[in-house]
Amino acid sequence: MNIWKTNVVKKSVGMITVLALSLSLSIPASAKQSVPHSKVFDLKAPAHELFRNKALHNGTVQQSFGFDDINGHVYVLQLMAGGIQLPGEDAPVSGATRSLNGDLTLTKLDLEGNKLGYMYLKGFGHGVQMGIETENGVPYIWSETDSVAEGKDGWGTQLARFPFQDSTILTPDSDSLEKHRLIEGADRTTVNIDSANNLLTMRYRVNGVFHFGVFSLDDVKEGRYEPVADVVQPSLGTFQGFASCGSFLYLLEGNAYGSNGSVAPTGNTYITVVNLENGEVVDRELFTGGQGLSFREPEGLGIRVPDIRHPHKAQLYVGFASNFTPNRLSNLLYIDELKPLSRVVK
């Protein structure tokens, strides 16, 4: 069954012909337009620390994060804490209800982890992953939205783009949201922005199977939803986030100490690398950074480009939640060594 439908504009002298095209899930990633070739992060490289044990606007576990490389800021998503009463609500709302409704808190930090602002996002989802796009100096948040309850949590069903506005509350119906339904019938939609290559990667579920679709960011903003690659998620442990950079997709899995076989100080946080050109797993390594953290639950991956004049010198970040309820804290660590795919040994 075809699930992508878009319009491709074909220009000729004196006229424009619009052709409707359909793409099927059965077409392998290698048969489509290729993603940019790039080196791959060396997962065995030593980890460095950006910041440790920093407080967010709420004391819940962070879910994901993204970087504004132009202005030097970090944005972190988390589930909204219980006990908060927002304007228009009759009483304080429990944490369980917030989670079921898909209510999120977004915190803005500087690169030292100091809090600069926040937003509340009601009815958006679980905050599994997010992205940042900076246009003309203005940061735009990319996230899931239009949350639908499944189990005890709410999960997004399409994507949203909106500017950061300190101390404001958004809902899926807010005027500032630009919404995109990239794939009809998909749910569990989450997003990452590869700013170095101007690409958007969406994780989504169709017929019970998780996929990652890669799109031109400019095309998405113009309403053209034709992927340049699509790969199926490989078998993983507890999924905790993703990020793409060039021709590679990075997947995070793992648990807090004491859960599902995660034992201090090593833990069970793994990063898996998938080649977006053919869907093959090319590397998988245990990530041992941040071993001294308490709790230490992996939460989110992100790509930072410290110097936008050199986009090939990117850094791969791993997020961890630390400390204890109700005062969970945020931690970001990274690796910054890249190598050719030919030097990667499975």
**pLDDT at residue 1 tops 80:** no
Q: What is each CA distance from 255 to 138, 240, 252, 259, 295, in whole angstroms?
A: 35, 9, 10, 6, 9
- Comparing 13 with 205, the larger pLDDT belongs to 205
pLDDT value for 345: 61
Helix (H, G, I), strand (E, B) or coil at 71: coil
Helix (H, G, I), strand (E, B) or coil at 319: strand
Residue 150: count other Cβ atoms within 10 Å of its Cβ. 12
Let me know: does 108 contact 117? Beta carbons within 8 Å.
yes
Q: pLDDT, tens digit, for every residue of 216-229?
A: 999 999 999 999 99
pLDDT value for 17: 33
Let me know: does 21 contact 9? Beta carbons within 8 Å.
no
pLDDT confidence tier of residue 346, bands split at 50, 70 and 90: low
How many Å apart are CA 339 and CA 141, to the nearest integer? 30
Q: pLDDT, tens digit, for every residue of 298-326?
A: 999 999 999 989 988 999 999 999 999 99
Let me know: does 308 contact 69? Beta carbons within 8 Å.
yes
The whole-model pTM stands at: 0.90
SS3 breakdown of the chain: % helix, strand, coil, rounded to 5?
5, 50, 45
**pLDDT at residue 236 tops 70:** yes
Q: pLDDT, tens digit, for every residue of 245-292?
A: 999 999 999 999 999 999 999 999 999 999 999 999 999 999 999 999
Let me know: does 183 contact 230? Beta carbons within 8 Å.
no
